Amino acid sequence: ALGWVLRRPSWFPVPPTLLKLLFGEAAQPILSSMRAVPNALHSSSFEFAYSDVHTALADLL
């Protein structure tokens, strides 16, 4: 997301095998994709200032 906002190449991609070698089982959360939804905030009608991370980073930078 940061590379996209800055219109610059992102850091070089790291092969999953290297992450597993360096971090062992701790690499699993990095390698698995997870979409978290803040249900408590949504149920209380909380309004986020930004709809997505790209918009937030663009405003901050």
The pLDDT tens digits for 9-51 are: 777 777 889 989 999 998 888 788 777 788 999 899 999 899 8
Task: Output the six-digit token pair for 37.
Answer: 């939804």
- Each as own residue / partner, the long-range contacts of residues 15-24 (CB below 8 Å, 24 or more positions apart, any chain) are none
pTM exceeds cut of 0.75: no
- The H-assigned helical ranges of the chain are 2-6, 16-23, 28-31, 39-43, 53-60
Residue 45: phi and psi, rounded to 5, are 60, 30
CA distance 27 to 34: 14
- Between 45 and 4, whose confidence is greater? 45
Rg (CA), the chain: 16
DSSP code at position 46: -
